[in-house]
Structure 1
Amino acid sequence: MTNSYRASSENLASGGLASSGNRSTTSISKHSLACDTESASKHPLVIEHIQVRPDRMEVTIRVRSEQFAYTNNQIIEEVLSHFPSLGMHACRNHKGRLFADVMNHTSIPHLLEHMVVDGQTRRAQKEDRIFTGTTQWSREDPLVALVAFSYEDDLVALEVLNQCVALLNAILLVSIEVGTTINGRNNDNSAHL
């Protein structure tokens, strides 16, 4: 049996999807996620697909433009004001053992992974619950990433995911409006010296 998820503009606006059934594999496409395609096309990050498996969620994330693909100090500073413990997350990376070792220049989808893990940890029913995640860029499309993470409650995980994507979109849009450098480029795409 599979979970049946209803995606409507009403329950997406409230940050979640309604679920019924048991916890087996469920697939949610961008067509059912798109409540307002015009405004979604302006967002730096778009959820294209969610695969809900019994032990994890696999989320296909599209980064609208290369300028939104990687973090910088200003983006991380703003995210840390909402998620102050992100830097202390264990993280397998090429520079060290913590997310702090790479967070100032890592992919935005990788940042999203850690935000979702952190958000779920705050809402976990079991105090000692450990959440894990992975992120990898698509080989077919350089602006698409697969973010996978464990969960305790599928509805909580979907709500946290939606909240984190909304927060990141807001931070990324503001960073462009105020001319914050992203990917070593200025808002006008000129090189940052």
Structure 2
Amino acid sequence: MYSLQIVTLFIIVSYIRSHPTQCREPSTLPTLSNDLLTQSVAILPGEEGMILRGLNSVEDTFIDITRQNISNHRNSGLQSCSVQATCQWHFVKNIDPNRKPKTIIEAQCSHSCCRRSESTCCDVNNGPGCTRCQPIYYYVHVLRRTGCDTVSRRYTYENKLEKVVAGCTCIRSPNVLRPILPTMPI
């Protein structure tokens, strides 16, 4: 009798190891944070912004972001600001099935060089003072799938901040050979 229980237990353990846990969505999700202070602190450089634990604390298996273009004819009103900008952008769908919401609309820079500055573009001329288009980011709270509870076989979710592109701007690299200007004596 005792040996039959051991054999049965061995078979069950072998079956569990050979068949990965199939998870499903939980019946209720955590409340999505709407803390505007946390979102605005995230843009600070250095450690101040790092304390917020964004995607770097999530396993790679739970990050599956793809971007899908949005056709311009439906969004012509949204494009008017971009058309006149030095760095044009277009809108894309940022899609990840491991996140709530699954789809976020964000901007994507259309060019790497600034308009009317092609001769000083960093892609062509990498000298001091060259210019390039740079994304402008903001942060949004999302529910991010972070694991699977093996007992309940339900996915676990956590509040995370994700960086999203709001638009693009033209930046100039620092001029490292800037001359020292004389100062006037007082």
TM-score (norm. length: structure 1):
0.26
In terms of fraction of residues, the more strand-rich structure is: 2
In terms of fraction of residues, the more helix-rich structure is: 1
